[in-house]
Structure 1
Amino acid sequence: MNELLLAGISQVVTPFGVGPKRGAAMRQLRIVPEAAVAVDAGVISWIGPEREWSGSAESVIDLGRRAVVPGLVDPHTHAVWAGDRLADFEARSTGATYEEILAAGGGIWHTIRETTEKSSEEMATLALPRIEALQRSGATTIEVKSGYGYTLEAEMRMLEAIRLLQGRTQSRLVPTLLIHICPERPTERQAYREMVCNELIPEVARRRLASAVDIFVEHHAWSSEDARIVLACAQAAGLRIKLHTEQFQQVGGLELGVEMGALSVDHLEVCSLEQCELVARSKTIATILPGVSLHLGLAAAPGRKLIDAGAAVAIGTDLNPGSSPLFSTAAAMGLAVRLNGLTAPEALTACTVNAAAALGLASVGRLEVGMQADLLVLESADWRDLSYTLGQNMVCEVWVAGRKQAA
């Protein structure tokens, strides 16, 4: 006997088949009208037209002819921080650029100063409402980065805060060690890089505080040469790798990520057609972050060109205090349709199975027998309302591993 049957579903809509979807395959969804989903021990045990159900269940819940889609996966957030960046927001409204604010000691540096002295408990307390907001918007798996600690001790406290959060939310949290900003002087940069490689990464790996290492590659951050050294250390420690790159300038980070087999290269606002084609020929996921384009007024990443080239594209919120105060994964999906040129089916794929692949996960992101029963019940009978509707949360219920989450 199954534990639960979800019935009265207007349509179940999901990507299907193992692995990330590339190019035209991102538009291919399985749509089951008048459907039901059976769950046993947190896993989908049956899915199909309700009229074909012949099993038994301990409990049957009628969803009132609402649509069901997979739980969303947010593959890129900075949800742990202290302080705010309201002064930066005001400065940008008067014409200051992101780089100018950073050079003046604002931006990431300001958040580091606010965050670095906080305890893990204080950080977790500040971050929990942000995680809960993402979950209410439909995120059942959420990547969370460090990167505002800067010192070894503060970075460890950030990762410990993420571990605390893992025990306080039902959504799956995937921790990533982010090597974010770096000292300006070359000698100090080398010393910091050596600390990262010789102390921070080994300790994080030993304590299993992160599953991947990310690094910010830009003219005002790390060079691709620095990144190669850091990411090689991460791989030697058994950690996967990711990159923030091609956000403001083309600096070789995308090429490095593809060469080294990164899970994902993220941002890509200035990605060229040749770079789109390079990613498309690789196994690396291209993660686009439309909240940044909206908030900073940047040209959006070329999502349409990436998909047309054959790449596997994922979408994230990039939730952070400075460049993307976006607390809704569903809204990121809707923005990708409007700003990055994706279709609604492509955006759903990018926020589910492809976002899972950007985190190295295969057990979430689609609704099939044997998959985790992470699913969303929408307010609408038509799944497209999830990316169409702005300013209203179209997620009625969030289910994680077959358990309905509190509103």
Structure 2
Amino acid sequence: MSTRSAPAMFDDLWTDARLVTMRGDGLGVIEPGALAVKDGVIAWIGPMSDLPATGAKRRHDAGGRFVLPGFVDAHTHLVFAGDRVGEFERQLGGATRKELAAEGGGILYTMRETRKAPVEELVAIARPRLRRLMSEGVTTLEIKSGYGLDLDSELNMLRAARRLGRENGIRVVTSFLGAHVVPPEFAGRSRDYLTHLAEVILPAALAEGLVDICDGGIEGLSIQPEEMMILYRAALNAGLPVKGHTDQYGDVGGAGQLAALGALSADHLEYSSEASITAMAKAGTVAMLLPGSTLFLNEPRRPPLDLFRRHGVAMALATNCNPGSSPTLSPLLVLALGCSLFRMTPVEALRGYTVVGARAAGLAGKVGELRVGLPAEFVLWEIGQPAELCYWLGGAPPREIVSGRSGI
């Protein structure tokens, strides 16, 4: 059955499609199906046999191709200046991340380069990265700050993210990650830095309408978990949802702390305990899995997928595009890694990059599915079955990308 009465005239109608709607708990495939668009919104979707006798300005024969929602890349650090190729070469020669950081490398190197770049330069540098993600079917993405670590540079990163969305016709969700690490001017004063973020930088970003989510790190490294709560409380009091990087290097109970805050997602989670995962399940906090980092850093530890499944914690996937631990711009590679490294099923991986990714981005019920009333953002793939998108290591380019926002 169709899900809504047909309007008098559609703008566009796709027929003979194999629609992967992401409805229910699986892929929700309708075949052969039809999908109609009116004013950039899905106006009708259902089996070909139920297609109403109505007109369309433009008709498209999908030719039996699979049609999936546009990908939602809900964890990226897309905006930054400089790269860390030299550090990559040195690590291959045996240098440790700790040694590089002691020499002024790592995040602080990227901070210095990013602070020197005006908004226009940050946009120009990030634009090719964004277009590469879009070319593989991303229609919504999250972009974090966190490489500025002072008022002007953090705001510039967020301004650049907003501009990238406007100028490229893609939905961008921004996350404030001022609590990425402690900058040099606050060395030894991490609590003062978190107070500065909560009382000065975050309010300035909010006043300019630059922030959708507050992110942070609960790893017990340069910032202690109780200090992160200074910023998280300020964000929640301002009406912002929160998420966080945690339990990547050891079990600090961060996933449980994030769940207690009602966080959208807890990200990384290689060492999360069953107690934390139980709390995530109760709170509805998404497990954001980032296999690009696991591959690039050659980390042996894997997130506890069996516990996520046992407790019913939804799993999302994202590129985690960043210069230090996941320099990838390929959602298709991440889908493959989610299956080959983490042993996700193709259904879990595909849902993780669409409907569950939408939850992690604070867009549950708004993107990541094919259903009436949602934006017309979908991709036609030249594949024999959906699992093929997880099988090829970065292969299977899209046949056609449809976006009501960009017209691409």
TM-score (norm 2): 0.92
What SS does the corresponding residue of 1:241 show, helix, strand or coil? coil
Hey, what does 1:173 align to over in structure 2?
A: 172
The Cα shift of 1:207 comes to 1.2
Alpha carbons 2:358, 2:367 under 8 Å: kept: yes
Hey, what does 1:269 align to over in structure 2?
A: 270
Q: Paired residue for 2:342, among 328, 340, 343?
A: 340
Hey, what does 1:199 align to over in structure 2?
A: 200
Percent sequence identity over aligned pairs = 37
1:333-368 residue CA offsets vs partner (Å, 9 max, x unmatched):
221111112111111111111110111112101101
Alpha carbons 2:36, 2:44 under 8 Å: kept: yes
Hey, what does 1:324 align to over in structure 2?
A: 326
Hey, what does 2:42 align to over in structure 1?
A: 44
Aligned residue pairs total 395
Hey, what does 1:302 align to over in structure 2?
A: 304
Alpha carbons 2:72, 2:139 under 8 Å: kept: yes
Hey, what does 1:254 align to over in structure 2?
A: 255
Alpha carbons 1:107, 1:322 under 8 Å: kept: yes
Hey, what does 1:375 align to over in structure 2?
A: 378
Hey, what does 1:61 align to over in structure 2?
A: 60
Q: Is 1:4 equivalent to 2:12 in the alignment? A: yes
Alpha carbons 2:253, 2:276 under 8 Å: kept: no
The Cα shift of 1:373 comes to 1.3
Hey, what does 2:316 align to over in structure 1?
A: 314
Q: What does 1:27-38 align with in structure 2 at a 5 Å threshold?
A: 28-38=26-36
Code of the residue aligned with 2:182 in structure 1: it is C
Q: Provide the C-alpha distance between the structure 1 equivalents of 2:254 and 2:404, rounded to a whole number of angstroms.
A: 36
The Cα shift of 1:187 comes to 4.9
Alpha carbons 1:301, 1:340 under 8 Å: kept: yes
Alpha carbons 2:194, 2:228 under 8 Å: kept: no
Distance 1:381 1:37, change over 3 A: farther
Alpha carbons 1:336, 1:347 under 8 Å: kept: yes
The structure showing larger relative contact order (alpha-carbon pairs under 8 Å, at least 6 residues apart) is 1
Hey, what does 2:5 align to over in structure 1?
A: none
Q: What does 1:231-246 align with in structure 2 at a 5 Å threshold?
A: 231-246=232-247
Q: Aligned-pair RMSD on alpha carbons?
A: 1.7
Alpha carbons 1:2, 1:58 under 8 Å: kept: yes
Distance 1:371 1:390, change over 3 A: same
Code of the residue aligned with 2:16 in structure 1: it is G
Alpha carbons 2:20, 2:68 under 8 Å: kept: yes
Code of the residue aligned with 1:278 in structure 2: it is A
Q: Provide the C-alpha distance between the structure 2 equivalents of 1:317 and 1:83, rounded to a whole number of angstroms.
A: 19
Distance 1:164 1:183, change over 3 A: closer
Hey, what does 1:397 align to over in structure 2?
A: 400
Q: Provide the C-alpha distance between the structure 1 equivalents of 2:404 and 2:306, rounded to a whole number of angstroms.
A: 33
Q: Is 1:280 equivalent to 2:288 in the alignment? A: no
> Which blocks of at least 5 consecutive residues in structure 2 are unaligned?
1-8
What SS does the corresponding residue of 2:167 show, helix, strand or coil? coil
The Cα shift of 1:402 comes to 7.2
Q: Provide the C-alpha distance between the structure 2 equivalents of 1:100 and 1:300, rounded to a whole number of angstroms.
A: 25
1:249-274 residue CA offsets vs partner (Å, 9 max, x unmatched):
22232121011111111111222333
